[in-house]
């Protein structure tokens, strides 16, 4: 498995489908995603970035120094207050864009163990989750208003 790149790559523009069963295929995909994320010094990765249109994201938690896995993630609540920061993307090498995202979010998702959870995140972690969920909808950071140089 390797990283899919390119703003105009049709693979990255697909909408990912919900995961219905946690099976060996899903677990090996998650393992590969974690490996590629760390190998490329990324902080998050969506399955579509390795060419699989499944609603799975992995995140390297900046505060707890561990990997988080969210299956079928959905933001159910978000703060009106936003914060604007520059973001990069493993699928768009050498590109950055400043993006306004909610400071706080509440997420609904399934864990690797099949548990349904609600998860609160703020600041950088909320930003990474928002970025990865965008990938599940085929949205890239280059779709946001461009930052003036
Ligand atoms: Zn990305």
Ligand 1 centroid to 57 CA: how many Å? 10
Per CATH, which fold does 10-143 belong to? Answer: Peptide Deformylase (3.90.45)
Answer yes or no: 132 catalytic: yes
The 10 Å Cβ neighbour count of residue 139 is 15
Query: Which residues are 119's β-sheet partners?
Result: 107
Ligand 1 centroid to 81 CA: how many Å? 22
Under the banding of pLDDT at 50, 70 and 90, the label for residue 119 is: very high
Q: What is the pLDDT of residue 130?
A: 98
Share of the chain above pLDDT 90, in %: 92
Look up tokens 């900046």; give the residue.
Answer: 62
Catalytic residue among 25, 96, 132, 137: 132
Q: What is the pLDDT of residue 62?
A: 73
Say yes or no to pLDDT of 142 above 90: yes
Q: What is the pLDDT of residue 148?
A: 61
């Amino acid at each position: 498995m390797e990283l899919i790149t390119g703003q105009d790559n049709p693979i990255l523009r697909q909408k990912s489908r919900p995961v219905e069963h946690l099976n060996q295929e899903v677990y090996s995909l998650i393992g590969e995603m974690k490996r590629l994320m760390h190998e490329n010094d990324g902080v998050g990765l969506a399955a579509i970035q390795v060419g699989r249109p499944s609603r799975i994201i992995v995140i390297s938690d900046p505060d707890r120094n561990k990997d988080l896995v969210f299956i079928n993630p959905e933001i159910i609540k978000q703060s009106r207050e936003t914060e604007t920061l520059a973001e990069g993307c493993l699928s768009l090498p050498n590109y950055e864009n400043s993006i306004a995202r909610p400071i706080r979010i509440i997420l609904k998702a399934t864990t690797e163990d099949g548990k349904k959870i609600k998860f609160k995140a703020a600041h950088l972690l909320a930003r990474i989750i928002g970025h990865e969920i965008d990938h599940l909808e085929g949205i890239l950071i280059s779709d946001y208003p461009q930052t003036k140089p």
